Structure formats: C-alpha cells, structure tokens
C-alpha cells in the first residue's frame, strides 16, 4: 500500500464515522429540514462565536459565498500572494462575484498586519478601485502550514476597523492553528466578519465546509449557495461525518504535527537547505529544492516509484502533508524512501 502524503484530503472515513453516517437523521436541507445539518451549522457558529453557519460542499464555495457577502461587484478584495483564494480557486471571485483582487507577498505566508494595511485603499473615489475586504488564511497552506500570530490578527482588525474594511478568515485548517497555539476558536472567530472552515482536511470527513457569519449574511449566502448549484438535499449524512470529526478528531492533529516535525528533522539532516524544521508548525512540510540537481516533479516520481506519494507544487517546491491515515510506522518508511530519493543525483 502506497503512503499518500499529497494532501490531508486523502483520508478515508473511519469505521466509527461510517457508523455515524449510517445512523444520521436526515431531511431536505434545501427546505431547512435536515436536523443533522442544522445542528452542525449551529454547533460551529457557537464554537466560533458567530450567529449562524451554512454547510457547503467545498471550502472554495464557503470562501466564495463569504466573499460574495463582503465585496460588491467592481470592488476589491486583498489577500496574500499565495493564498488559496487567489491561487487555487480558479478565479472564482472574479467569475462569480465580479470583483478584483490585489495581493501582498509574505514569506511563508506569515501575516504582518502592516503588509495588508499598506496596500488597502478604501474609498478610492470614482477613478480607482476601492478595497472593501481583506482575507487571511490560517494556517497558510502554500506557506507551509504557517500559523498566523494572534497579535497580528488583532492589529489587522484594529487597522481594518479604522479603514472601514471587512475581514474574512479562510480557516480551512484553523483546527491545526488551534492545536499548535492553544488559541480558542472563539478568540480566532471574534476578529473576523466571515469565516470558512473545512471538515474534509485534517479532521477526516469525506466532504464538507461551513461558512460562518451574522444571521443576515448567512441567510443571503443561502440563496447564493442555491444559485451556485450548492443546495443539497438529505445531506445530513455528510453533516454527521462532520459532527463525528469534531467529536473525535481535533485532538489527533497533534500527532500529525509531531510526525510532520519528524519528517522535517530527518529531511534537514540530509540537506539543511531543503527545510528548516523550526518552521514546521503544523502538518505541512514544504521542501525547497533550489539547491538540488532535480525538480520537484522528478523527486515526486522517484518517491512514487518507491511507494510514497508527495506533491510537486512548483518547479522546485515539493509538499508533504501528514494526516490521520498516516501512522508512525509509515512515517519511518517515508523517511527511508526520502533519504534514498534525496541523495540520488
């Protein structure tokens, strides 16, 4: 059996989760009749201190519904250069919301409030586009699982308030940030006008994300979700998996973080230019192959031939992501495979 570290989305529902799915009470969620979806939306809203939640099939849709609520057509959202919203949602904000985006670069995606606030241009008048919202990604995926410092988030909120700007949190992996820092979900929640969270990444559910905000924004987003083709029927079977994930799997992320660190330490021992293990804060191990005589695609092919799947996300950038279906024994095997693949010319 191959070891798959391409993403934390590759997990399969456990026996316990499948049991919860089988037993879930369901109804037609387009009519608001699915009790398991309703309780999931309420549960997550309460967890993050928000008024309401909306179940969505993907994190991209949850992000895009939030953006739609915050930014009017012709206005601007700003975000970090390598954020998921900007790079991995295929231009959805332009296509669906008719908005523009502008970006600030940050090393490893690490948030500095000043970087965002410096490029924000609210109320730009009749000739230039006006910024209306800022998006923050926590943890930062392409940054290598970077956790955003809570004091920078607080400073961003303060600056955004002074400029009259809204804040969106792309919290696909906010669970990992919470486990790494101990900062509560409510604390994270209080700085943002809209939040999206994913149940299908580290928490191991097969499908599902939730958008969180005020009652007013969520009821409007419900209409847009239907318009986007995201109105789902007896979808409590998926919400039950999400409940199960919240009940059982958040604490398991600490193991993913420990194994990611072990991978990073072993890889740095081969060549310290590949990764700084200090920078591995959560479950993502990003390898910089700049000093290596092979590309990320070549490395991914070599490890794949040896039974380890990793992602080549750039010409010289490879990514390994730990998850709940990856154990200590596989971690030792992965290290062996990487040792051989990384020393070969």
Compare residues 222 and 319 and give the one whose CB is closer to ligand PLP: 319
Short-list 64, 40, 36, CA closest to 54: 40
Compare residues 86 and 292 and give the one whose CB is closer to ligand PLP: 86
* Distance of alpha carbon 269 from alpha carbon 272, whole angstroms: 6
Measured from the CB of residue 170, what is the shortest distance to ligand PLP in angstroms?
5
How far lies 144's CA from each of 47, 110, 138, 286, 332, in Å? 26, 10, 11, 5, 21
User: Tokens at residue 327, please?
Assistant: 């154990």
Compare residues 54 and 342 and give the one whose CB is closer to ligand PLP: 54
Short-list 135, 178, 170, CA closest to 282: 178
* Distance of alpha carbon 260 from alpha carbon 268, whole angstroms: 12
Measured from the CB of residue 57, what is the shortest distance to ligand PLP in angstroms?
8
Using an 8 Å Cβ cutoff, are 211 and 53 in contact? yes
Compare residues 6 and 84 and give the one whose CB is closer to ligand PLP: 84
Burial annotation 189-211 (CB, 10 A radius, 16+ → b, else e) = bebbbbbbbbbbbbbbbbbbbbb
Residue 11 within binding range of ligand PLP, rule CB under 6 A: no
Residue 170 within binding range of ligand PLP, rule CB under 6 A: yes
Measured from the CB of residue 273, what is the shortest distance to ligand PLP in angstroms?
26
# of chain residues touching ligand PLP (CB under 6 A)? 12
Among the candidate windows 52-60, 101-109, 309-317, 326-334, which touches ligand PLP by CB under 6 A? Answer: 52-60
From residue 201 to residue 220, the character string flagging contacts with ligand PLP as x (rule: CB under 6 A) and all else as - is x-------x-----------
Residue 198 within binding range of ligand PLP, rule CB under 6 A: yes
Using an 8 Å Cβ cutoff, are 59 and 196 in contact? yes
DSSP 255-324: HHHHHHHHHHHHHHHH-TTT--GGG--SSEEEEE-TTSSS-HHHHHHHHHHTTEE-EEEETTEEEEE--T
Beta bridge partners of 133: 77, 166
Short-list 26, 325, 342, CA closest to 202: 325
Measured from the CB of residue 202, what is the shortest distance to ligand PLP in angstroms?
10
Residue 81 within binding range of ligand PLP, rule CB under 6 A: no
> Nearest-CB residue to ligand PLP?
59
Give SS3 for 78: strand
For 100, the enclosing helix (H) or strand (E) is: strand 100-104
Residue 59 within binding range of ligand PLP, rule CB under 6 A: yes
Residue 137 within binding range of ligand PLP, rule CB under 6 A: yes
Residue 176 within binding range of ligand PLP, rule CB under 6 A: no
Measured from the CB of residue 345, what is the shortest distance to ligand PLP in angstroms?
33
Contacts for 187 with CB less than 8 Å, ≥ 6 apart: 150
Compare residues 84 and 168 and give the one whose CB is closer to ligand PLP: 84
Residue 84 within binding range of ligand PLP, rule CB under 6 A: yes
Measured from the CB of residue 90, what is the shortest distance to ligand PLP in angstroms?
10
Contact with ligand PLP (CB under 6 A): which of 111, 116, 172, 310? Answer: 172
Among the candidate windows 38-46, 54-62, 316-324, 325-333, which touches ligand PLP by CB under 6 A? Answer: 54-62
Which phi and psi angles does 128 have, rounded to 5°?
-125, 150
Compare residues 130 and 209 and give the one whose CB is closer to ligand PLP: 209
Among the candidate windows 17-25, 58-66, 108-116, 228-236, which touches ligand PLP by CB under 6 A? Answer: 58-66
Compare residues 130 and 145 and give the one whose CB is closer to ligand PLP: 145
Compare residues 59 and 230 and give the one whose CB is closer to ligand PLP: 59
Which positions lie near ligand PLP, rule CB under 6 A? 58-60, 63, 84, 137, 141, 170, 172, 198, 201, 209
């Amino acid at each position: 059996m191959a070891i798959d570290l391409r993403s934390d989305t590759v997990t399969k529902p456990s026996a316990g989760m499948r049991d919860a799915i089988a037993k879930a009470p369901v109804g037609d969620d387009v009519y608001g009749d699915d009790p398991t979806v309703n309780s999931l939306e309420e549960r997550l809203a309460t967890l993050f201190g928000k008024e309401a939640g909306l179940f969505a099939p993907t994190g991209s849709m949850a992000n895009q519904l939030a953006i739609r609520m915050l930014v009017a057509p012709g206005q601007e959202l700003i975000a970090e250069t390598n954020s998921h919203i900007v790079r991995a949602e295929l231009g959805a904000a332009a296509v669906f919301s008719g908005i523009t985006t502008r970006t600030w670069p940050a090393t490893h995606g690490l948030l500095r409030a000043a970087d965002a606030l410096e490029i924000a241009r609210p109320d730009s008048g009749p000739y230039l586009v006006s910024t209306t919202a800022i998006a923050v990604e926590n943890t930062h995926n392409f940054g290598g699982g970077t956790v955003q410092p809570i004091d920078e988030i607080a400073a961003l909120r303060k600056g955004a308030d002074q400029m009259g700007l809204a804040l969106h949190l792309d919290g696909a992996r906010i669970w990992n940030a919470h486990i790494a820092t101990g900062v509560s979900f409510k604390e994270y929640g209080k700085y943002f006008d809209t939040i999206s969270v994913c149940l299908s990444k580290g928490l191991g559910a097969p499908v599902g994300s939730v958008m969180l905000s005020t009652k007013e924004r969520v009821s409007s987003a419900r209409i847009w979700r239907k318009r986007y083709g995201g109105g789902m029927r007896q979808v409590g079977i998926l919400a039950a998996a999400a409940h199960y994930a919240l009940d059982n799997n958040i604490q398991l992320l600490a193991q993913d973080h420990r194994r990611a660190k072990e991978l990073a330490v072993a890889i740095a021992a081969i060549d310290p230019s590949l990764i700084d293990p200090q920078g591995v804060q959560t479950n993502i191990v990003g390898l910089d192959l700049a000093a290596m005589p092979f590309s990320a695609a070549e490395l991914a092919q070599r490890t794949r031939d040896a039974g380890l799947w990793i992602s080549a996300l750039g010409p010289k950038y490879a990514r390994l992501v730990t998850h709940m279906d990856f154990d200590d024994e596989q971690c030792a095997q992965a290290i062996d495979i990487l040792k051989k693949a990384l020393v070969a010319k």
